[in-house]
Amino acid sequence: MDNSGKRTAIGVDLGGTAIKYALGTADGKIIKEDKRPTNAEAAKEDILNDLKNAITNMKEYAQIQGYQPQAVGLGTPGSVDIRTGFLMGSTPNFRHWRDVEIKKELERRVGLPVFVDNDANLMALGETRFGAGIGHQNIICLTIGTGVGGGIIIDNNLYRGYRCAGAELGHMSIELEGLQCNCGGKGCLEAYASATAILRNFKRHYEKNNIPFNSKKMDVRYIFQLYRKNDTIARQVIDEACHYLGRGLATLINIFNPSMFIIGGGVAEAGEIYLSKVRETAYLYAMEKPREGVQIVGAKLGNKAGYLGAISFALESVGKA
Amino acid sequence: MDNSGKRTAIGVDLGGTAIKYALGTADGKIIKEDKRPTNAEAAKEDILNDLKNAITNMKEYAQIQGYQPQAVGLGTPGSVDIRTGFLMGSTPNFRHWRDVEIKKELERRVGLPVFVDNDANLMALGETRFGAGIGHQNIICLTIGTGVGGGIIIDNNLYRGYRCAGAELGHMSIELEGLQCNCGGKGCLEAYASATAILRNFKRHYEKNNIPFNSKKMDVRYIFQLYRKNDTIARQVIDEACHYLGRGLATLINIFNPSMFIIGGGVAEAGEIYLSKVRETAYLYAMEKPREGVQIVGAKLGNKAGYLGAISFALESVGKA
């Protein structure tokens, strides 16, 4: 089969639990996808080698099928200088993954141009190019999981800031004297609206009321099950989390007047039951003009958004490099 | 004198108390400036005629001097659809100035192309092109006066949002259960950091402590005078206002990672005594990476920023129109 004329790239999403990766085309078609576990405790060198193995496997597959991948795109947690592909500083869930010359180290190992960006940015790009955001130019993406990640699309491109360190939407402060955050701030949205916050608040209520609970079973999905069964505590905790996120969105509406919010991540998987409440608060607190016509929708691509965005980023970058 | 080869425009800044306007060049040179009182209580038609008189006076002057102004730029409070020059909805300090076809009405009256934008946007553009922001590409401008206005510069251009209704930076919520705001939100930055908020808090403290005060004399400038004399209440109130603004900036740093904040308006005229406190809080609460290298400086152009930005906007737009 002669596939050599098709523009393809390898996209990699380095997550806290798995490395998800795929070979895909410029128009978002996935040719092959795969994953392997992340060892978040491992040394830099070991993570780089795991990434190398994933990429070279996919590259070999591509070549057998007659594809010539032009580049690799990689999303990693943390702030990345996209010009140099350098991971600036540390990432909360990785032990030794800090100050890594990712681009340089991987290019040496895989023999292809490598383009690196923050994972939430590439998820946002994936959803914009191939998912919920098709046709929209100004989009704010939020990923509500363990933390709250953000991606900002302005005029159809990622906005990263002066030193590629912006879009930390989980670290908007929504409460002056609120919870202390690891980031150095106080009252950050993440501390109120993340899965972690929902679980923490749920446990606190159960404990306060001396209700025994099985903490192994306890995750956000389970709490939403209870919510659907009208469990009082689940309803209170979820309603609060929706209110907090909605308040955050109201501020983002006033700042950005985007045409769309895309909400992804584990919590948003609860779907319309969750989104409708978030939407209600966001519209209620946002200003009249900025909120007009703003859509608040769920992500469409699930955990494929990251590597699809990475493929898109790689192919958009390799032309300019 | 043959000035007909110079690219010039007329810039107009429609403020709550004065219409400030000027004839200037594309590189920010002011040839002539003037002002006249605003009648904020007047009917639409009367304000339009006041604007027309200002513009035609300046146009006549220009022609006598041999200039051929190519366009008019106008900044008005409120949300403006810049494509149509339509003022969408109302503005807080004007009685009848709502839903006005400003561009259409003025072009008919003055015989020049007219380009209209929000006043805070044009102030931000003026400071970016000709003031404190020269050389910076990603700038957040805040005007701390009666209210708190915002302008967002991304890649050297104004960011306005999907329907030109964004950049309402005074309406970021910083306090979940904070003060109710006229905008429909709660805990808006404006209600904590504006001149109005400073005055309100100051009076409240004086009254609480049964200290008589001359409310006629009472303005932000006077409170800063007391601050410099170590007046306990002035110090407390100003320190709080600086803290609130700094907290707002910390959130904006995490969102935008700009290279510069430009702080203007009546309150910022207090200068370094004010800015240094705002800066301290902003850096303390912002995240490590996004805050690196971010400058927080005062505006340089004072009340000329508005019409200088309007001139720049007019000349940048007329080429594309």
- pLDDT value at residue A217: 76
**What are chain B's domains?**
8-124+304-318 (3.30.420.40), 136-300 (3.30.420.40)
A128: chain B residues, CB-CB within 8 Å = none
On whether the CB atoms of residues B42 and B48 are closer than 8 A, the answer is no
Q: How far is CA B178 from CA A2, A174, A189, A256, B57, in A?
A: 64, 10, 16, 22, 47
The identity of residue A148, as a single letter, is V
Position of tokens 């576990």?
Answer: A37
Contact A257 B292 (CB under 8 A): no
Q: Two tokens at B258?
A: 């700009």
B57 Cα to chain A: minimum distance (Å):
34
Task: Say yes or no to pLDDT of A2 above 70.
Answer: no
CB atoms within 10 A of CB A232: 10
Contact B285 A185 (CB under 8 A): yes
Render pLDDT for A253-265 as a digit per residue (tens, 0 to 9): 999 999 999 999 9
Read off the pLDDT of each residue in B127-135 and give the average, rounded to a whole number: 98
Task: Say yes or no to pLDDT of A54 above 90.
Answer: yes
Contact B185 A285 (CB under 8 A): yes
3-state percent helix, strand, coil for chain A, nearest multiple of 5: 40, 20, 35
User: How close are the terminal C-alpha atoms of chain A, in Å?
Assistant: 29
* Average model confidence (pLDDT) across chain B: 95
Q: Which of B164, B173, B181 to mutate to test the interface with A (most CBs of A within 10 A)?
A: B173
Render pLDDT for A84-132 as a digit per residue (tens, 0 to 9): 999 998 887 899 999 999 999 999 999 999 999 999 999 999 999 999 9
A157: chain B residues, CB-CB within 8 Å = none
Between A79, A176, A292, which is nearest B174 by CB? A176
Q: What is the ipTM of this complex?
A: 0.95
Read off the pLDDT of each residue in B258-284 and give the average, rounded to a whole number: 96
On whether the CB atoms of residues B92 and B77 are closer than 8 A, the answer is yes
Render pLDDT for B49-65 as a digit per residue (tens, 0 to 9): 999 999 999 999 999 99
- pLDDT value at residue B1: 59
B305 Cα to chain A: minimum distance (Å):
21
Render pLDDT for B157-192 as a digit per residue (tens, 0 to 9): 999 999 999 999 999 999 999 999 989 999 999 999
A183 Cα to chain B: minimum distance (Å):
6
CB atoms within 10 A of CB A287: 23
- pLDDT value at residue A1: 60
Q: How far is CA A54 from CA A20, A47, A104, in A?
A: 9, 11, 17
Position of tokens 């953000």?
Answer: A150
Q: What is the crossing angle of helices A232-256 and A272-285, to 10°?
A: 50
User: What DSSP character marks residue A186?
Assistant: B
- pLDDT value at residue B311: 98
B160: chain A residues, CB-CB within 8 Å = 257
Q: Two tokens at B51?
A: 């604007």
A259 Cα to chain B: minimum distance (Å):
6
Position of tokens 């991540």?
Answer: A265
Task: Say yes or no to pLDDT of A318 above 60.
Answer: yes
Task: Say yes or no to pLDDT of B321 above 60.
Answer: no
Render pLDDT for B220-244 as a digit per residue (tens, 0 to 9): 999 999 999 999 999 999 999 999 9
Whole-model pTM: value is 0.95
- pLDDT value at residue A33: 98
Read off the pLDDT of each residue in B191-210 and give the average, rounded to a whole number: 93
Q: How far is CA A255 from CA A138, A140, B148, B216, in A?
A: 12, 11, 13, 35
Task: Say yes or no to pLDDT of A321 above 70.
Answer: no
Between B165, B259, B287, which is nearest A162 by CB? B259
* H-helix or E-strand spanning residue A253: helix A232-256
Contact B255 A178 (CB under 8 A): no
